[in-house]
Amino acid sequence: MDRAEHDRIPEIALEWIGAGKSAALATVVQTWGSAPRPQGSQLVISGDAEIQGSVSGGCVESAVVAEALDALEGGQGRVLEYGVSDDDAFAVGLACGGTIRIMVEPIGVGNGPTVEMIEALVASRAARDPVVYAVNPQTWERRFVELGDPLGEAAEAARISDKSGFEGDWFLGVHNPPLRMIVVGAVHIAQPLVVIAREAGYDPYLIDPREAFGAEHRFPGTAISNDWPDEAIRAYGIDTRTALVTLSHDPKIDDPALIEGLGSQAFYVGALGSKRTHAKRVERLSAAGLDGLSVARIHSPIGADIGSKSPAEIAISIMAEITERLRRPDSRP
């Protein structure tokens, strides 16, 4: 499925420019208190005052649009600061207000980024290559942080934590690939899991060679493959922003998927089954040539231990464990 519009801000900017319009990017660069949107959140504004995305959930967007139009006309980037009142914050679901700083960059004019730089950013995002876009709002210097860069260590830490923010005078904008979840086994637990995963920002991809299980009417709007899991996973690809979950309880289906997943950079690999079932699984995978460290990456019994019973509760526990492994990488085995 296509990414949500709020996750396609650089792409939308480039589309508008390609259509002959001008465009500016507005990015949340600092927050204090209970700000409506986190650092790194973006809004794109066209020269015709069209907008996509959000920097405040609606609290200050009108003011930012006016500043962006001025920036496009004069070619001058700027950093804006706004206090969000308690009343406005409550309107967007927060208990109290806060303060936000927003960086506005007119693309292709004045001291803004060049169109070529945005094209390079979009190309990297399309290739699922993690990018850290560094901007110094005092000098308006900007670059992509690469290996050996003085900002390299800070940029890598920001990328791993998936949090944009300042390092000295430089704002480090993290552009990680969209999250994905491969679910093997179109069983009853998979039905709520793909829904919850999608709401949490993942693109779910369901694999089950049993067409009666992996049917569109059981998983509306979900990408489904009826190929054998190892073939489907190789064709789809796994990277550091991918979680793999096996649910079929059938070794013929789950084991090939696990072998592929354990040989990849997936940040999470989990398998449904009891401790006894998992012990037998470990024996099979070891006999297939996997070493102990690889097999130890499997989270099984799958999910956070929250006493889950129903399929939906088990799906919640799986999503909770995946979230912890994503947001607290130090907790990964």
String of DSSP letters for 133-181: EEEETTTTEEEE--TT-TTHHHHHHHHHHT--EEETTEEEEEEPPPEEE
Long-range contacts of 281-286 (CB under 8 A, 24+ apart): 281/251, 281/254, 281/255, 284/251, 284/255, 285/255, 285/258, 285/259
User: Would you write out the chain's pLDDT as a tens digit for each of its 333 residues?
Assistant: 344 556 789 999 999 999 999 999 999 999 877 666 789 999 999 999 999 998 877 678 889 999 999 999 999 999 998 876 666 655 544 445 678 899 999 999 999 999 999 999 999 999 999 999 999 999 999 999 998 999 999 999 999 888 999 999 999 999 998 899 999 999 999 999 999 999 998 999 999 999 999 999 999 999 999 999 999 999 999 999 999 999 999 999 999 999 999 999 999 999 999 999 999 999 999 999 999 999 999 999 999 999 999 999 999 999 999 999 998 877 766
Domains of the chain: 5-175 (no CATH), 179-331 (3.40.50.720)
Confirm if 101 and 77 have CB atoms less than 8 A apart. Answer: no
How far is the CA of 260 from the CAs of 7, 49, 74, 228, 250, in angstroms? Answer: 28, 47, 53, 12, 16
